[in-house]
Amino acid sequence: MTSDRRPDPDQLLEAITGEFKRQAGGRLRIFFGACAGVGKTYAMLQAAHRQQESGVHVCVGVVETHDRAPISRLLDGLPQLPARGLPHQSPSPQEFDLDGALALHPDLVLIDELAHANAPGSRHGRRWQDVEELLRAGISVYTTLNVQQLESLNDVVGDITGIRVREVVPDQCFDAAHDVVLVDLSPEDLLHRLEDGEIYPPAAAQQARNHFFRKGNLVSLRELALRRLADRVSVDVRAYRNHHAIDGVWPTDERLLVCVRADVAHEKLIREGSRLAQRLRADWMVVHVDESRRSRHPLEREALLRLAKLAESLGAEFLSIPGEHVADALLECVRTRNATRLVLGHREARWRSPWRKSLARVIAEANPEVGLILLQPSPPSAIPRKRISRPSVGAKALLLSLLACGLTTFVAALLLRVFDLSNVVMLFLLTVVLVALRWGKAAGALAALVSVASFDFFFVPPILSFHVSDTQYIFTFVLMLVVALVTGQLAARLRSEATLATAGERRATALARVARDLSAAMTTEQIVAVCTDTIAPMFASRGALMLPDLDGRIPNDAAFDAGVAQWVYEHVQPAGHGKSTLASADAEYLPLKAPLRTRGVLALRAEGQASAAEPDDRRLLDACCALIALALERIHFVDVARDTLVRMEGERLRHTLLAAVSHDLKTPLTAIRGMAETLETMEGLSRDERDLLARSIHQQADALHRLVVNLLDLARMQSDGVRLNLEWHAVSEIVGSALASLGTTLGDRRVHVDLPADLPLVELDANPFERVLVNLLDNAAKYTPAEATIWIRAMAMGDTMYLCIDDDGPGLPSGSQPEALFEPFTRGVKESSITGVGLGLALCRSIVAAHGGTIEAMPLMPRGARFEIRLPIGKQPEVESEMLP
């Protein structure tokens, strides 16, 4: 094999990823036939039996027997999934139980009639959507399909047979199937079967024979099915060739653009475009040029929506581009999208003025490279079709313009007494301009005509007659009519452009506001507020942002359905009102897809009139969703970054702590061990020496104990936050308890306790608060000489309790801020022999702060230091007064 026959790497990659996708999901096999009765279900069941024999777990999802014995016999050997019972439903055709199948998770599910429309209230509107969900869940599916049920062939088949099928399957679904098996039967054999009653009961069979099952129909349908399958096979062959480096077939890079008007008749263009695109293997899109929004009729809007839905279901991208000139807008689109072919509805010429070029000609002249395909949009078919009339400009506007002309005539009659007739003509021109400006082109044109007529009738002699005596006036009329029409049209266009610009600007402003609000949001709550307060009102809806919790579950919401939101979140597809999935919900649910993953769901419930139906509003809503998702992702990463920072800070603190603690723990441990060994081994120690050693060990152990207690307290406060067990306590008890627990630590220092007997109770947690006093007193003992005096004082002033621990020692360390003493690992004297990590005061501060109080260190004059705690007193608890005897 030569090197230039090597396959294109990109194509290979695509093929590989394609394989992957196929392996990841389940496999879809479609048993495809020309019409009912060719034996698709029978073939499917036979294939299922073969699968079951080779050990595959097969399960029958839903299969209609239509009382046909062979089918029932084949069904017998296969396990059946129970049909889903819908409440308030008459025993209707069986409904497939999607959740049941997902829960059972067999290898293969058999589902008859892919095009079936599900009963209202089901999750999806169509059965093929159920199938897609099964495939995504990794369950393979066998299903059946008739050719007339393919969306792109729907109208062709309708034209041939005169019967329009409403239950259709998008071509994407058909094309994405792993394999399609054609179940074929010649028309003669089919008719035999029909006559033998193998398809319908005899009575129905006769009727069918007269209508659908005419031989001509059957031949055409068979041809269509074969051709459609041949298309598919050729694609498969090409894919195979690409894969296996067989050269000779060039991938086309055709791009098809189908231009439609807001008219259901243009559905045909879309279907035709789809077939064409398929044959060309081209990317294709449907474009609608939005000329003027002001006069959009509701029917037009509905038609546009239908076209958009159809285009999307056939796999096209639907674009609605604003523009005053269809040709310019189209040419721009052709250029930016690199379209090679343009499909146009060819219906002009009838009322175009001869000097105005048709759209096709303008485009052909401006861009000769693009291949133009002109189609007749309204098909000559027998099928009654809901034609949408061009929206009436509004009888009201025309009436008003007539009224304006009448008024002008009246005023002109008055003015004619003063002014010349030629000046009065100007008044009519003014009226035409104003009418066109106010009510649009048609009203302007009418006003021009009526004005000329009225001028002739009322003012040109002979008066009150259309006769004109002076031929001069003929020229005046013509001139007046032309001027009136031209200025009127210009004015109307001015107006329509202004409205266009205003509407565009309104959206741009709204989007800018949303973008600004969202970029300013720093918390998820703010984003929620933007959604409910800014975005939802833009679409005249009530909205909610539904965010998943850590497990990816969307919590219940009072106003919206969390179940639907959950589905949307998991499948990243919109659902709810106006969507093909879960359409029975009264609100619409849109996934918020950020670059990394889906961040949540935006729920909107329209208030009053349905909103967001216009393509532009849709685009605005999509843009808003993207913005919200991005904002949510940004905040997620801000949170991640902050958490990391906090963790790093905590880590740093732990390292410092560990270093400090290991020093402070080792010092007393070394001392204890050394002294204990001395006691153990040294013979002949005097009794005094032994007592001294033992006492030192005791003191070191006490110091160690206090350090450990502080550490444990600090660890507990950091791990579960400060959880206080608040009770009303007498300060004197806590002081007493602290003094008792210090025991001999204070040595010979004098301690004066000065607590007024009438001190109010304080609400505090006694144990941590005792720690505060123990630490402060321990400090006082550590940093003062042995003969120092310590005062403990308390007093209540207003609603604050002051508790002071004073000493007359050397005072606070000079040169450092008193507040700095309360930082962890700060000690007045660095690296001294006095143990204590400098945790004591930091712990004191956190405990006091947790009680809503403050602690301060201050120097005393002439010497000494004071630690002052201030605590809020609060409302005293009730104590029933005792009845004194």
CB of 766 to other proteins, least distance (A): 5
Among 548, 736, 810, 818, binds other proteins (CB under 8 A): 736
Rounded Cα distance between 72 and 94, Å, is 15
Burial class (CB in 10 A: 0-12, 13-18, 19+), 444: buried
- CA dihedral over 767, 773, 775, 778, signed as positive or negative: negative
**Where in 765-799 does DSSP place strands (E)?**
789-797
Interface with other proteins, residue 669, by CB under 8 A = no
Among 657, 729, 745, 856, binds other proteins (CB under 8 A): 729
Interface with other proteins, residue 680, by CB under 8 A = no
Among 536, 734, 772, 812, binds other proteins (CB under 8 A): 734
Interface with other proteins, residue 499, by CB under 8 A = no
The interface region with other proteins, picked from 163-171, 301-309, 737-745, 862-870 by CB under 8 A, is 737-745
> With respect to other proteins, which residue has the nearer C-beta, 215 or 695?
695
> With respect to other proteins, which residue has the nearer C-beta, 733 or 823?
733
Interface with other proteins, residue 726, by CB under 8 A = no
Helix (H, G, I), strand (E, B) or coil at 814: coil
CB of 727 to other proteins, least distance (A): 6
Closest CA to 67 of 193, 191, 200, 192: 200
Among 367, 732, 745, 789, binds other proteins (CB under 8 A): 732
> With respect to other proteins, which residue has the nearer C-beta, 73 or 705?
705
CB of 705 to other proteins, least distance (A): 6
Interface with other proteins, residue 698, by CB under 8 A = yes
Confirm if 707 and 779 have CB atoms less than 8 A apart: no
Largest separation between any pair of C-alpha atoms in the chain: 156
Helix (H, G, I), strand (E, B) or coil at 143: strand
Interface with other proteins, residue 748, by CB under 8 A = no
The interface region with other proteins, picked from 58-66, 370-378, 663-671, 698-706 by CB under 8 A, is 698-706
Q: Per-residue contact track with other proteins, 406 to 445, x per CB under 8 A?
A: ----------------------------------------
Confirm if 617 and 539 have CB atoms less than 8 A apart: yes
Helix (H, G, I), strand (E, B) or coil at 427: helix
Structure-token match 């007046």, residue found: 480
Beta bridge pairs of residue 180: 30
Per-residue CA distances from 800 to 56, 275, 393, 773, 872 (Å):
80, 86, 79, 18, 5
CB of 722 to other proteins, least distance (A): 14
Interface with other proteins, residue 104, by CB under 8 A = no
- In the range 703-722, which residues lie near other proteins by CB under 8 A? 705, 709, 712, 716
Interface with other proteins, residue 676, by CB under 8 A = no
The interface region with other proteins, picked from 11-19, 27-35, 58-66, 735-743 by CB under 8 A, is 735-743
Among 740, 786, 797, 861, binds other proteins (CB under 8 A): 740
DSSP string spanning 154-219? Answer: HHHHHHHHS------B-HHHHHHSSEEEEE---HHHHHHHHHTTSSS-HHHHHHHHHTTT-HHHHH
Interface with other proteins, residue 691, by CB under 8 A = no
Rounded Cα distance between 232 and 279, Å, is 10
> With respect to other proteins, which residue has the nearer C-beta, 815 or 877?
877
Interface with other proteins, residue 739, by CB under 8 A = yes
- In the range 313-372, which residues lie near other proteins by CB under 8 A? none
Task: Determine the size of the site formed for other proteins (CB under 8 A).
Answer: 33
Confirm if 141 and 176 have CB atoms less than 8 A apart: no
Q: How far is CA 253 from the centre of its chain?
A: 33
> With respect to other proteins, which residue has the nearer C-beta, 321 or 730?
730
In the DSSP assignment, the letter for residue 152 is G
Interface with other proteins, residue 877, by CB under 8 A = yes
Rounded Cα distance between 788 and 616, Å, is 84
Interface with other proteins, residue 132, by CB under 8 A = no
Confirm if 155 and 233 have CB atoms less than 8 A apart: no
Question: Cβ atoms within 10 A of the Cβ of 349, count?
Answer: 9
CB of 562 to other proteins, least distance (A): 40
Question: Cβ atoms within 10 A of the Cβ of 733, count?
Answer: 11
Interface with other proteins, residue 671, by CB under 8 A = no
CB of 660 to other proteins, least distance (A): 23
CB of 121 to other proteins, least distance (A): 55
Q: Per-residue contact track with other proteins, 749 to 788, x per CB under 8 A?
A: ----x-x-x---x----xx--x------------------
> With respect to other proteins, which residue has the nearer C-beta, 728 or 802?
728
Tallying the residues shown for the chain, one arrives at 885
The interface region with other proteins, picked from 86-94, 333-341, 550-558, 876-884 by CB under 8 A, is 876-884
Closest CA to 481 of 437, 565, 425: 425
Interface with other proteins, residue 391, by CB under 8 A = no
* Beta-carbon contacts of residue 838 (< 8 Å; ≥ 6 apart): 660, 823, 824, 825, 826, 827
> With respect to other proteins, which residue has the nearer C-beta, 625 or 801?
801
Among 429, 730, 860, 873, binds other proteins (CB under 8 A): 730
Interface with other proteins, residue 697, by CB under 8 A = no
Per-residue CA distances from 810 to 448, 836, 861 (Å):
106, 19, 11
- In the range 792-821, which residues lie near other proteins by CB under 8 A? 792
Interface with other proteins, residue 885, by CB under 8 A = yes
State the Cα torsion 830-832-836-841 to the nearest 10°: -40
CB of 876 to other proteins, least distance (A): 9
> With respect to other proteins, which residue has the nearer C-beta, 345 or 836?
836
> With respect to other proteins, which residue has the nearer C-beta, 630 or 844?
844
Rounded Cα distance between 262 and 267, Å, is 10
Among 103, 382, 395, 879, binds other proteins (CB under 8 A): 879
Confirm if 568 and 560 have CB atoms less than 8 A apart: no
Among 219, 430, 434, 701, binds other proteins (CB under 8 A): 701
CB of 707 to other proteins, least distance (A): 13
Closest CA to 261 of 154, 155, 356, 344: 344
DSSP string spanning 428-464? Answer: HHHHHHHHHHHH-HHHHHHHHHHHHHHHHHHHSSSTT
> With respect to other proteins, which residue has the nearer C-beta, 482 or 712?
712
Question: Cβ atoms within 10 A of the Cβ of 248, count?
Answer: 6
Determine the straight-line distance between the first and last CA of the chain, rounded to whole angstroms. Answer: 119
Rounded Cα distance between 74 and 43, Å, is 10
Helix (H, G, I), strand (E, B) or coil at 245: coil
CB of 124 to other proteins, least distance (A): 57
Residues of the shown chain interacting with other proteins in the complex, contacts defined by CB under 8 A = 698, 701, 705, 709, 712, 716, 725, 727-730, 732-737, 739-740, 743, 753, 755, 757, 761, 766-767, 770, 792, 877, 879, 882, 884-885
